[in-house]
Amino acid sequence: MTRTEILFGKGTLTVEHDDDCDVLRPDHAKVLSDQAGAVAEALAKPIGSPPLARIAKAKVGGQVVIVISDITRPVPNAKILHPILDVLRAAGHKSEAITILIATGMHRPSTPEERVELVGSEIVGEYRIVDHRAEAQEKLVVLPEPTASGTTVWIDRLYAEADLKIVTGFIEPHFMAGFSGGRKAICPGLVNLETIQKFHSPDFLEHPKATFGVLEGNPCHVEAIEVARRVGIDFLVNVTVTTEQDITGVYAGDSDAAHQAGCAAVAEAMGIGVRRQYDTVVTCGGGYPLDTTFYQTVKGMCFAEPFVKQGGTMVIASGCAQGIGSDIYLDIMRRYAGGRWRQFIEDIKASDRVEKDQWEYEMQCRVLRKVGVEGLRFVTDGVDAATLSDCSVTPAPGCGESGRSAQETLNELLSSIRRDRPDASWAIIPSGPYILPRT
């Protein structure tokens, strides 16, 4: 038997398998030998833009806002921020005029401990750090005209009124917006609830181009980039990373040109051809911080879906250390438990109302169309089986039981599947959603 490690929480789980099992790994780019130096060089020699130092010098005396991703995204923020802050200080900007704005979208605010994890204690101690609050109308301003899709957009006031707007983030394949990074830090990262709901509405998500690796004609991308262009980005700093958050590439400068260059690099490095489909696919939620909730684990399901046969079995392992996600999200799934997910799709298509977090269940339904609830097998030590049974998955026997490890649960589940279907074809996706299926 061969052993393959899959990402799980802050560690890994081991999958034992025969040699004829295909292990599907992307050809990640190499880690940069001098990551901080590469960021500094990209700031000085950007793509389609003057150097950051020149832009910053022209804005001395004004307010600076630097946008970063929240704790659910594995962005090496400190490695990005220190070179940026060095440039700003050298240009004459004072620390009290610089705000680091966390693009939470609809996610919860950060905790003090998470802020230290996000940017490091030195930056926490010196700079103002603020969470975007999509529901706080008094902290938002409205853009003058609706978007082409008819959305009236409210944007974070701190960002909209800043004199120098710097946006950071990382680029990876995204299961509805094509790729992360770039414009997504603004929309949905810094907008109001109604805009986020439109961005995640069935009008957008049921579109065939609202999927990973597609930008042109993708309604999510079209909406987000229109919002970002209207509110403006003075300088973009995006990176590509390994699953250990080491930087493999830096794409800085013009928000459109730099992002497009990064997307092209990601497509090359993370692509895996879908040459066949398998009876059983074993995957994961991507490890920490992405797999801290069931909500985020849906991404791992969606990226594995092209590789599994119709009526096949998908096994997904996820730490879920913070549980399912929001209470609203769990309530939606409970309403459609017992195999009623098809009714959910019919209901949201017929409704003008978009509930918070319904979009994640909608994306899960793409997988359910392929394998059904009975074929979507879930392994975790963070959520009990009774709760998981309300989430349109089939929990592995022993899931979430006290004193029982996820490794034990996974081993027994895989042994059971092998006994039931000894001739089945198998594949493993060790990095979960950190791939780009190429059909």
pLDDT digits (tens, 9 = 90+) for 335-366: 999 999 999 999 999 998 899 899 999 999 99
For 40, list phi and psi in degrees, rounded to 5. -60, -40
Q: Are 319 and 7 in contact (CB under 8 A)?
A: no
The reply to whether 174 belongs to the active site is: yes
CA distances from 228 to 121, 186, 187, 189 (A): 30, 6, 7, 10
Q: Which of 382, 423, 82, 121 is nearest to 280 (CA)?
A: 423
pLDDT value, residue 169: 96
d(CA 180, CA 212): 9
Q: Which of 28, 107, 200, 259 is catalytic?
A: 107
pLDDT value, residue 243: 81
**Which CATH superfamily groups domain 2-25+274-438?**
LarA, C-terminal domain (3.90.226.30)
Which H or E run contains 173? Answer: strand 173-174
Q: Which of 174, 200, 221, 259 is catalytic?
A: 174
Q: How many residues does the chain have?
A: 439
Start and end residues for every CATH 3.90.226.30 domain found in the chain: 2-25+274-438
Token representation of residue 287: 């490890």
pLDDT value, residue 379: 98
pLDDT digits (tens, 9 = 90+) for 410-420: 999 999 999 99
pLDDT digits (tens, 9 = 90+) for 248-287: 999 999 999 999 999 999 999 999 999 999 999 999 999 9
Burial of 244 (0-12, 13-18, 19+ CB in 10 A): exposed
> Helix %, strand %, coil % for the chain, to 5?
40, 20, 40
d(CA 378, CA 396): 6
Cβ contacts of 382 within 8 Å, gap of 6 or more = 318, 319, 320, 321, 322, 323, 400
3-state secondary structure of 59: coil
Q: Which residues of the chain have pLDDT under 50?
A: none
pLDDT digits (tens, 9 = 90+) for 277-295: 999 999 999 999 999 999 9
Greatest alpha-carbon pair distance for the chain in Å reads 70
pLDDT value, residue 74: 87
- The domain defined by 35-270 folds into Rossmann fold (3.40.50)
The reply to whether 107 belongs to the active site is: yes
pLDDT value, residue 219: 96
